[in-house]
Copies of this chain bind each other. A is one copy, B any other.
Amino acid sequence: MATIKDVAGAAGVSVATVSRVLNDNGYVHEETRTRVTAAMEKLNYYPNEVARSLYKRESRLIGLLLPDITNPFFPQLARGVEDELQREGYRLIFGNSDEHLEKELEYLQTFKQNQVAGMIAATNYPDLAEYSGMEQPVVFLDRTPEGAPSVYSDGRTGGKIAAEEILRGNSKCITLFKGPAHLPTAQERFSGALDVLRHADVNFQIITTASFSFKDAQTSAKELFAAYPNTDGVIASNDIVAAAVLHEALQQEKRVPEDIQIIGYDDIPQSELLFPPLSTIRQPAYDMGKEAAKLLLNIIKKQPLKETAIQMPVTFIKRKTTRKGD
């Protein structure tokens, strides 16, 4: 592998000059720069990123912290982040926190030790001193604090639309799922829906789901029909819960949407393949990831920022588990 000395030799300049070109600091004549760059290309020279990072005290690594990549909402988000970073030559160090504080702190620590250029975090603990005390910029994603750079979608409006659609389809005995209490995003969509139901002329009941795991979704769906067999409309806390409810409803030979309407949240790719295909509230997960990466890179490059708290729109995706709006 070619070294910096080889490049200097081939370009007929000093190692210090090559270093100035590499690190883009100090004056280098344009013609010299072109010669050095050409030599690098010819020799297939790649600077050692670790050495560069030590020297410049920065790197082209970005830390990405997610709750759990096996929750089908997050792969899209991660792809959005990665695709944007990849185009700009940045790479991801990646970890799942499982929403455990200790694991999160451990990842933050190692992100710092590896001198990441910045971080993108989907966290339930945005107010940790570890975040505010970071030298590197942090963009919060999906689960976001006040005031800090962040990208999120409008959960309250999402919940509101979900409830309105179920009412529009004329359900009279509605079950509203309340997602995990410790997840602000789950609580926002819940509150949005609750506000609408509370002012409507319908009966409704609330079931809490302990997590967004597949197993808990199945348990909650069974609980729903045992406790409230007359339910004719369900506002689920996410698409996984909605899929489990749909499964259970069909199992009990209810017709969907004739006997019971179901609406999900997220619009994960699988929801379109359910039968009937799931009506849901779409969060633009991929675009949220992309926006977060763009925002972080702009902060790293000290670009002027138009906004630092970017709210992404949610949209109702009408499929076949709700009745009206055809």
Contact = CB atoms under 8 A, between A and B. Distances in A.
Interface of A: 46-51, 53-54, 59-61, 68-70, 72, 74-76, 78-79, 82, 86, 91-96, 103, 106-107, 109-110, 113-115, 214, 217-218, 240, 243-244, 246-247, 250-251, 269-270, 272-275, 277
B69 A69 contact: yes
A114 B61 contact: yes
Contact of A273 (B46, B54, B92, B240): B240
User: Which has the most chain B C-beta neighbours within 10 Å: A59, A106, A214, A273?
Assistant: A273
B49 A113 contact: yes
Contacts of A250: 275
Copy total for this chain? 2
Contacts of A69: 69, 75, 78-79
Nearest to A241: B273
Which 3 A-B pairs have CB atoms at the shortest separation, nearest pair first? A49-B113, A94-B94, A243-B273
Contacts of A103: 86
Given A50-B113, A113-B48, A277-B247, A70 B59 contact: no
A269 B214 CA distance: 7
B95 A86 contact: yes
Nearest to A89: B110
Contacts of A72: 72, 75, 270
A53 B107 CA distance: 18
